[in-house]
Structure 1
Amino acid sequence: MQPDATGPATMTAPAPASDRRVERGLPVNWSLAASTAARLMPAGPRTTPAAARELVERLRVDSARAEGHVREVTGLGAGLPLLPADVLDRPSWARAATEGMDALTSGAQLPASPWPLRNVTAAGSGVQLGALLAYLGARVLGQYDPFGGPGGAGRLIVVAPNVHAATETLGVDGEQFGLWVCLHEATHRLQFTAVPWLRDHFAGLVTELLSLQEPDTAKLTRLPDAIRSLRGEDGAKGDVLALVELLQGPEQRAVLDRLLALSTLLEGHADHVMDAVGPDVVPDVAVIRRRFTERRRGGGIVDRLLRTLLGVEAKMRQYAVGAAFCREIEAAVGMDGLNRVWESPRTLPTRAELTEPQAWLRRVG
C-alpha cells in the first residue's frame, strides 16, 4: 500500500526490478560481530611474555621465508616482495576477519529495507556472526585475506596462540610446525598476488551469489528435499553444503558451483604445495601432516556437530579433493602444466573436473 497524492491509500504495482531500491553490503553490524567474538572466545594458552615475543617474531620471519620456498616449488611470483605476516592474538583475528568479510561482501546488492528493520537485522546478524567467530577464533591457525589490510590490498595473518596450542596438542616441533602453517598461508597469498585476475574474479562470484534473490516461497518448495539431504537420506551427502545447494535456485546454484570449485582448488593447491616443499625444509612434514589430519577429524561430539553445522567438515573435504587434483595433474604434466589453472577464469577446473582431473587435461589441452 502506498499513500496517494489525494490522500487515500491505493494499491500500486511492484516497481520493475531495475527500478527497485537496493542497498549495498550485507545487513551485518561488523563492529558488533568483532566485539561479540572477543567477549565469547576463550583466552589463549598460558605462556611467558618472552616466549610469546619469540613466537611472534619467528612466525613473522617464517611467513616471508615460507613464501620464498613456495615460489621455488611453484615457479609463481618472481619479483614480488617477500613480506612478513601480521601475527595476531584471537580478538585481533576476529576484528581482521570482520573487516575482510565486510570488504568482500560490500558489492552485494540487496533489496532495500526500512532503516529500523535493517538496524535490528544488522545487530542480530552481528551477534550471531560473533558467536561463530568465537568458535573459529580458538581454532584457526592463519589465513590470507585478499581484501584486508591497508587499502584492502591483502593481509596474511597468523594467529600465534592457536599455533602454540596446536603445537602442544600435536606434540610436534614448534619451529617446524610454525613454518609448515606459514607455507599453507603463504601459498594463498601467492595465489592472489601472482595471479592478477584472481582477486576480482573471486569477489565477483561472491557478489553475484549474494545479489541473486529468490522469493522465499521458491525456497520452501525445495525444503523437504533439503531436509532429507541433511539427514543423509537417499544417499545424499548429509551435510550443510548439501542443504545450502538444494535451497538455491538454478542461477544461484550455477554461481555457487563455480565459487565452490575455485575455493576447493585454492585450498587443495595450498595443501599440495605445503607438502611438496618437502622434508628438506620441514624434516618432520610427514609426521606433522598425519597428526594434523587426525586432529582435523577428531574432537568430541559437540565439537564435531559444530564443525558440521559451520561447514568445516565440507571445507576439510575441499582440502582432500583439491589436493588430489593437484597431485594428479602435476604427476601427469608437471608443475608448469598445473599452473595452467591460473591462466584465466576459463582454465579453472569445474567441480566435476576436480574429481576427474583427466577431463580437465582434455579440455585445456
Structure 2
Amino acid sequence: MSDTPFGFGLPPEEPENGDEGKKKDPAGGGQGPGNPFGFGGLPGGGDNPFAAMFGNLNPNDLGAAFQQLGQMLSYEGGPVNWDMAKQIARQVVAQGTPDGVKDASVGASEKSAVEEAVRLADLWLDQVTSLPSGANTAVAWSRAEWVEATLPAWQQLVDPVAERVGTAMGDVLPEEMQAMAGPLIGMMRSMGGAMFGQQIGQAVGALAGEVVGSTDIGLPLGPAGKAALLPLNVAALGKDLSVPMDEVRLYLALREAAHQRLFAHVPWLRSHLFGAVEGYARGIKVDTSKLEDAVGNLDPTHPEQLQEALQQGMFQPEDTPEQKAALARLETALALVEGWVDAVVHEAAKSRLTSADALRETLRRRRASGGPAEQTFATLIGLQLRPRRLRDASRLWASLTDARGVDGRDDLWSHPDMLPTASDLDDPDGFVHREQLDFSELDKMLGEAAGGRAEGPGDGAGEDEGNGEGKDDQGK
C-alpha cells in the first residue's frame, strides 16, 4: 500500500539510471501511481495543463483555447467535472494503445462469439457453485462503450474522495471573508473539478485499453446483469499466448460470469465495497496551512498557480486508524471476491480446458506485475491489491469446498459477519476447521440475521455469551 495514497506532497521519484526504472503512470500523467492527481498529461504534452493548452498555439487557436478555459472556470457541478473526464477518456481511447492498436466497433461475429462463450460459461458454473446465473445478457463492448458504461461507477468511487478535497478549498478562509471571496472560491472549486476530471479521464481512458470485461478490478463497474467482454482487448491478451483464442475467450467469460453471479446474489456486497472507499475518504486530512498560502498568493490572471500549488503538496492524507481500517476492509473484501472467482473458475475449467492452468497463472502474473486492478486502485484510491492475498483467498475457498461442499462454502456470502477476516487469510486451514463455524453455528447466525434473536427485545439478549467475538445484528 502506498504510504501516501493520493501522492499529494511527494515529488515524482527519480530513476536511478537515466530513464531506466521510471514508473509509468497508467493514467498517462507525469507523476506515476504515487501521485495520481498530479494533474499532468493533458493531450498536447507537458506537466502543466495550462502550458499544454496555451504553450504552442497559433493565433487561430487562441479562441478555442480560451473557450475551453471558460468552460473549466464556469463549471458548477460536483467535485469532479465528469463531462471533462468523459471527453478526455474518449480522446485517450481514440488515440489508441501505445502499440498502435486503435479502437473499433464490434462486429456481428464477435458479438456472437461473446454471447456463446458466456452462455457456455454459465452452464459450466452451474456445476461448481450454488449461486445461480447473474447475467441477464451478454454484450461485446468496444473500448469507447466500456468508458460510457462504467463512468457512473467511477463517479460513485471517486466523488467521495474529491468532495473531501474540494470542500477544503472553500474552508481555508475565515468565515467572515468567505462571502467576499465567493468568486475566488468558486473559481478554485471549478478548477479543482476540472483538474480531477482531467486526471480521472486519463486514467479511465488508459484502462479501457487493457481491461477485458466489466469486472476486471473486482468491482461491478458495468450495469447490473450484463456480462461484458471487450473482444479487442481479449485478442490482445491472447496474442502472445500459445493458447487457442476460443479458450482464452471462454476462460475470461467464466471469470466475468462468476463475478456477475456473486454481485447479483450477494445484495450487500456492492455497498460493502463502495462504502469502504467512502470510509477512506472521510478520513482524509488536508494541510490547510499550505492551502491558505496558495489561496492568499493566487493571482486570478494566472490560474496555473493553483495547479502548481496542488503539485507542491497541498494535500497530505494522514495515516489515521479510520483510513487503515477502511483500506484493510476493502482489501480483504476484494481478495475474497477475487479468490472465490479464481477458485470456482478453476474448478469449472480444469477438466474442460487444456490451457486452464496456464491461463490461470497468466492472469495471476498479470495482476502481480501491475495489471488493471492494481494500477487503477493505486491511481484513484491508493489501494494496491496484493497478489499474496488473492492466492490465500483462493486457497481458503478451495479448502472450504473440500471440507463443507459447494453449498457450505457459498453460504458464507449470506452475511458479511460470516466472511473470513484478514487474519483468517493468514491461516486458511484454521478458519476452515474452526469449531465455531460448523453448520449449526452457520444456521444460528443466518437465523439471527434474518429475524433477530429469539429472546426478543428488552430481555438482556444483547450479548452472545457463546462467542466472545460475536456481534449483535440488531445493535448494528
Q: Does 1:96 align with 2:149?
A: yes
Contact 2:392-2:428 within 8 A present in 1 as well: no
Q: Any idea what SS the aligned residue of 1:27 has? A: coil
1:67 to 103, 122, 126: 122
Counterpart-to-counterpart distance in 2, 1:254 and 1:64? 39
Q: Pick the structure with more helix per residue.
A: 1
CA distance in 1, matches of 2:271, 2:364: 32
The letter for the 1-side match of 2:400 is I
Q: Find the counterpart in structure 2 of residue 40 from structure 1.
A: 92
What is the CA deviation profile of residues 89-137 of structure 1, one whole-angstrom value per residue up to 9, with x for unaligned ones?
A: 1122123222212145567774744443222112111111222223322
For each residue in 1:289-308, what CA deviation from the matched residue of structure 2 results, as whole angstroms up to 9, or x when unmatched?
Answer: 34444555569xxx9x9789
Cα pair distance change 1:201/1:297, threshold 3 Å: closer
Q: Check conservation: 1:38, 1:94, Cα contact below 8 A.
A: yes
Pick from 336, 343, 356: which aligns with 2:427?
356
- Structure 2 vs 1, CA of residues 214 and 306 (structure 1 numbering), >3 Å: closer, same or farther? closer
Q: Distance in 2 between matches of 1:98 and 1:308?
A: 15
Q: Counterparts in 2 of 1:251-270, with a 5 A limit?
A: 251-270=322-341
- Change over 3 Å in CA distance of 1:318–1:281 after alignment to 2: same
**Change beyond 3 A, Cα 1:71–1:120:** farther
- In structure 1, the partner of 2:468 is none
- Cα distance in structure 2, aligned partners of 1:180 and 1:279: 10
Amino acid corresponding to residue 87 of structure 1 in structure 2: A
Percentage of identical aligned residues:
26
CA distance in 1, matches of 2:213, 2:385: 18
> What whole-Å deviation, never above 9, does each CA across 1:232-282 have from its counterpart, x for those lacking one?
xxxxxxxxxxxxxx9531112112211111111001111111111024443
Tell me the equivalent position of 2:72.
none
Counterpart mapping for 1:196-275 below 5 A? 196-216=267-287, 247-275=318-346
Match of 1:142, SS? coil
Contact residue 90 and residue 205 of structure 2 kept, 8 A: yes
Larger strand proportion of the pair = 1
Whole-angstrom CA distance in 1 between matches of 2:402 and 2:105: 45
1:83 aligned residue? 136
For 1:81 and 1:39, the matched residues in 2 are separated by 33
Q: Report the residue type matching 1:54 in the other structure.
A: S
3-state DSSP class of the match of 1:73?
Answer: coil
Query: How far does residue 176 in structure 1 lie from its aligned partner after superposition?
Result: 1.3
Distance 1:81 1:264 in 2: 20
> Shift in Å at residue 30 of structure 1?
2.4
> What letter matches 2:231 in structure 1?
A
Partner of 2:248: 177
Deviations 1:207-251 (A, max 9, x none): 33323343548xxxxxxxxxxxxxxxxxxxxxxxxxxxx953111
- Looking at structure 1, the residues matched to 117 and 395 of structure 2 have their Cα atoms a distance apart, in angstroms, of 26
Instruction: Write the mapping of 1:286-325 to structure 2, written as runs, cut at 5 A.
Output: 286-294=357-365, 296=367, 310=379, 314-325=385-396
Describe the SS at the equivalent of 2:280: helix
Which sections of structure 2, spanning at least 5 residues, go unmatched?
1-76, 171-184, 289-316, 439-476
Distance 1:282 1:200 in 2: 35
Please report how far the alpha carbon of residue 178 of structure 1 lies from its aligned counterpart in structure 2 after TM superposition. 0.6
Partner of 1:240: none
What residue is the counterpart of 2:261 in the other structure? 190
- Structure 1 residues 105 and 169: alpha-carbon distance in aligned structure 2, compared to 1, 3 A threshold: same
Q: CA shift at 1:348, angstroms?
A: 1.5
Q: 1:325 to 1:29 in 2, by over 3 A?
A: farther
In 1, the alpha carbon distance for the partners of 2:279 and 2:410 equals: 26
Tell me whether 1:54 sits opposite 2:109 in the alignment. Answer: yes
Question: Residue 161 of structure 1 aligns with which residue?
Answer: 232
Residue of structure 2 equivalent to 1:15: none
Change over 3 Å in CA distance of 1:30–1:190 after alignment to 2: same
Bigger-Rg structure (1/2)? 2
Instruction: State the aligned residue count.
Output: 304
Q: Give the 3 Å change call, closer, same or farther, for CA 292–358 of structure 1 in structure 2.
A: closer
How much has 1:286 moved relative to structure 2? Answer: 2.2
Change (3 A) 1:308 1:211: closer
Report the secondary structure of 1:277's partner residue.
helix
Q: Distance in 2 between matches of 1:206 and 1:169?
A: 36
Gaps of 5+ in 1: 1-24, 218-245
Give RMSD over aligned pairs: 3.5
Large movers: runs of 4+ above 6 Å: 44-47, 305-308
